[in-house]
């Protein structure tokens, strides 16, 4: 049986956010089958920027919050996101805006 490669970039997104393949496909606007393929071959070049930004959000949240709380936080609507959830922001290609908001929320110098 061939060894199954697991794309590290996707793993760094799916793990912290608690996403299954279908949910990952939804936020990238592709099918579950496409995500399966990405796990074997890597995230396509045209999706790298979005994947890197989402992974940066996940990494920042993982450093600042209890890991087990991140999936719930990502699925909770917030006024800071215009009433959307983090996952909805990502799905609507507002991932760079989300990254900026998350970074600012943990910038203690800015809030002082």
In a domain, residue 3? The reply is no
Q: Which long-range contacts (CB under 8 A, 24 or more apart) does 26-29 make?
A: 26/91, 27/54, 27/87, 27/90, 27/91, 29/91
Query: Quick one: pLDDT at residue 2?
Result: 40
In a domain, 21, yes or no: yes
Entry pTM:
0.89
Q: How far apart are CA 75 and CA 77, in angstroms?
A: 7
The pLDDT score that the predictor gives to residue 1 is 35
Give the domain extent around 39.
Answer: 8-107
What's the confidence (pLDDT) of residue 108?
77
Domain annotation covers residue 45: yes
How many domains are there within the chain?
1
Residue 1 CB neighbours (<10 A): 3
2 in a domain, yes or no?
no
Report yes or no on 112 lying in a domain: no
Asked whether residue 47 is domain-assigned, the answer is yes
Q: pLDDT (tens digit, 0 to 9) for every residue of the chain, 112 residues total?
A: 343 446 899 999 999 999 999 999 999 999 999 999 999 999 999 999 999 999 999 999 999 999 999 999 999 999 999 999 999 999 999 999 999 999 999 987 765 5
pLDDT at position 110:
64
């Amino acid at each position: 049986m061939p060894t199954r490669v697991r794309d590290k970039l996707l793993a760094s997104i799916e793990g912290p956010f608690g996403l299954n393949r279908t949910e990952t496909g939804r936020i990238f606007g592709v099918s579950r089958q496409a995500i399966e393929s990405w796990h074997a071959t890597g995230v396509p070049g045209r999706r790298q920027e979005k994947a890197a930004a989402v992974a940066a959000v996940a990494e920042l949240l993982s450093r600042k919050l209890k890991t087990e709380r991140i999936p719930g936080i990502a699925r909770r609507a917030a006024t800071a996101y215009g009433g959307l959830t983090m996952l909805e922001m990502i799905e609507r290609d507002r991932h760079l805006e989300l990254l900026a908001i998350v970074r600012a929320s943990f910038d203690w110098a800015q809030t002082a």
